Amino acid sequence: MIDIPGQELTAEDRELLCHPLVGGFILFTRNYRDPDQLKKLCDEVLSLPRQRLLMAVDHEGGRVQRFRVGFSRIPAMRSFGHLHGEDPARALADARAQGETIGRELSAYGIDLCFAPVLDIDHGLSRIIGDRAFSDRGEVIVELARAFRAGLNAQGMAATGKHFPGHGAVTADSHLELPVDRRKEADIRATELAPFKTLIDDGIESLMMAHVRYTTVDTQPASLSKRWIGEILRDELGFRGAIFCDDLSMGGAAVVGDMEARARLALDAGCDMLPVCNDRDATIKLIDALARDLTPDRAASLRLKKLYGRHAGAQA
């Protein structure tokens, strides 16, 4: 899954987006000027002479909302957690309503994913998570995330729970460095996994992995870990949806080597799609390197196709 630098497609953008190893397109604030410009850009991406690309944007509310002018302002998910303590029914209704708003507004442009909801538990340690989390209580997160997902689904948009297996108990920012969680595996399972397990049982469509190393479970970050992805997420928890690595350009992934090394570890661990953002040179080198010996994975492609919104049914 790749990005573009501007608000219109260049010849190089079109060439990369048509490459058979590219299956997704992610939008950022820099790609947005106004609704008309965004519609033109998305329409052009969807009209490229290739199998339909999966289109996504980080648009979860609060600090993480890429499009603002011309779009509804989505509050931080923590606001629903606070409201839940006073009026649970209203909090659930509001969370669902915001999911519907996001789904309705983004799907109008053909966008399939908003990369939400956040299922991390806020332990008061991670500034990068903070009020992006619904709550510091797993059971409240489950209730609100279910309502939010129902809102997305009602508008034909799939949900992406993140960041498995939980990013809220570390202080480091995985955009800049690799956070390390040294808690016992039993403690991690008893706290962090509960929201993910419940949403998996509900049938959540996709998950995004965390660039966090859990030292008592594996030496690799969870995003690049066969143990976390293959053994725990797939085999033990029975997750059958699509798995996104977090952005491979982030500092949390850089500790394992260059972009090619990161990508090969992520693919080998079982990730279905690899976002590679904000580094065009690295993106080109990675595609060239993987094209020499890698073919698209049919099973992964089928899992990803299920994420297309109903607005894209005719093109999927």
Domains and CATH numbers, the chain: 11-40+48-312 (3.20.20.300)
Confidence band, pLDDT 50/70/90 cuts, at residue 314: very low
The residue with greater pLDDT, 309 or 211, is: 211
Residue 310, pLDDT score = 65
Residue 255, pLDDT score = 86
pLDDT in tens, 53-88: 999 999 999 999 999 999 999 999 999 999 999 999
Task: Flag whether pLDDT at 9 surpasses 80.
Answer: yes
Q: How far is CA 173 from CA 36, 51, 85, 126, 250, in A?
A: 35, 36, 29, 8, 10
Nearest residue to 206 (alpha-carbon basis) of 136, 285, 291, 305: 305
Confidence band, pLDDT 50/70/90 cuts, at residue 188: very high
Q: What is the DSSP letter of 137?
A: S
pLDDT in tens, 130-180: 999 999 999 999 999 999 999 999 999 999 999 999 999 898 888 888 889
Segments in the chain forming alpha helices (H): 11-17, 35-46, 78-86, 88-107, 138-154, 185-191, 193-202, 226, 251-254, 259-269, 280-291, 298-305
From CA 19, how far away is CA 287, in angstroms rounded?
8
Residue 27, pLDDT score = 98
At a CB cut-off of 8 Å and minimum separation 6, what does 99 contact?
Answer: 117, 147, 148, 149, 150, 151, 152, 153, 154, 155
3-class state of residue 26 by DSSP: strand
Residue 172, pLDDT score = 80
From CA 209, how far away is CA 211, in angstroms rounded?
7
Active site amino acids = 175, 246
From CA 38, how far away is CA 79, in angstroms rounded?
29
pTM of the predicted protein model: 0.95
| Residue 117, preceding peptide bond in cis (omega within 30° of 0) | yes
The residue with greater pLDDT, 28 or 176, is: 28
